[in-house]
């Protein structure tokens, strides 16, 4: 399966996909990396991996629709079958999400439906949550509300701040994003009535990331 990876920043989840695709047994390959920011560090990861990459700067377009038309043209020209949002910091219009319905996924650093949007780790700590986590879901017109594919949890420790919690959740993100892409490429994912079922491996859609740190 040919992947199109959309990034805006450092591209750590892109790197997880690059590493996975380097395995001959992995059923997907990265056909194109697109950044909406010319200074995104993730572009260097793509160049180092000798991937087809380009910048489509949203600031160069008069509106969201024309920007997204250019995204779609680039993705289609590269033969992309699955769009992977990996820290892509743009709100997508219904036109784009409908065009790629069932063919676009996102990684979000919280246990959705809790804490959609930004500053998820600060909000989880402030709310007194005992666990945080990450979610891979299909992209829908409503931000961070698409059908959930897989989630990972990790404890929130008594001495955690947003940075320490983010570092731990990021480890889980890398693990579950690769799993989700594999399942989709292998044809194991079915969306029915707004929910995801995974052929033969439902129990693997919950991932627990323990920690060796002790709370105080």
pLDDT score at 216: 29
State the chain's mean pLDDT as an integer: 94
Any idea which of 78-92, 132-146, 161-175, 190-204 has the lowest mean pLDDT?
A: 190-204
DSSP string, 113-157: TSS-SS-HHHHHHHTT-SEEEEEEEE--SSTT-SPEEEEEEEEPP
- Provide the token pair at 74: 């680039």
pLDDT on residue 210: 76
pLDDT tens column, 106-137: 999 999 999 999 999 999 999 999 999 999 99
Structure tokens at 75: 């993705």
State mean pLDDT over 186-203.
89
Catalytic residue among 58, 108, 121, 174: 108
pLDDT digits (tens, 9 = 90+) for 169-188: 999 999 999 999 999 999 99
| DSSP code for 184 | H
Q: Is 96 helix (H, G, I), strand (E, B) or coil?
A: helix
For residue 179, what is the DSSP state?
H
108 is annotated as an active-site residue: yes
Residue 106 has a pLDDT of 98
For residue 196, the model assigns a pLDDT of 94
SS3 47: helix
Least confident of 6-10, 71-75, 195-199: 195-199
* Token code pair at residue 90: 């743009």
- Show the domains of the chain with their CATH numbers: 1-100 (3.40.50.170), 108-216 (3.40.50.170)
Please give the Cα distance from 209 to 215 (Å, whole number). 16
Cis amide bond preceding 96, omega within 30 = no
Model-level pTM? Answer: 0.93
57 DSSP assignment: -
C-alpha count within 13 angstroms, C-beta hemisphere, residue 24: 0
């Amino acid at each position: 399966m040919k992947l199109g990876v959309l990034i805006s920043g450092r591209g750590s989840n892109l790197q997880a996909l690059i590493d996975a695709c380097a395995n001959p047994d992995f059923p997907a390959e990265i056909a194109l990396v697109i950044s909406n920011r010319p200074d995104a560090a993730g572009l260097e990861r793509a160049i180092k991996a000798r991937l087809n990459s380009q910048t489509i700067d949203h600031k160069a377009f008069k509106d969201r629709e024309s920007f997204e038309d250019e995204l779609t043209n680039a993705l289609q020209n590269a033969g992309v079958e699955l769009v992977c949002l990996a820290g892509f910091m743009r709100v997508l219009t219904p036109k784009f999400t409908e065009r790629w319905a069932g063919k676009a996924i996102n990684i979000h650093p919280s246990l959705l439906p809790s804490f959609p949007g930004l500053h998820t780790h600060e909000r989880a700590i402030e709310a007194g949550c005992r666990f945080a986590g990450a979610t891979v879901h299909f992209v829908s017109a409503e931000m961070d509300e698409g059908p959930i594919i897989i989630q990972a949890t990790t404890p929130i420790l008594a001495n955690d701040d947003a940075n320490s919690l983010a570092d731990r959740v990021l480890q889980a993100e890398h693990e579950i994003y690769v799993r989700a892409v594999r399942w989709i490429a292998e044809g194991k994912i079915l969306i029915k009535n707004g929910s995801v079922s995974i052929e033969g491996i439902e129990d693997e859609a919950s991932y627990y990331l323990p920690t060796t740190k002790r709370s105080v």
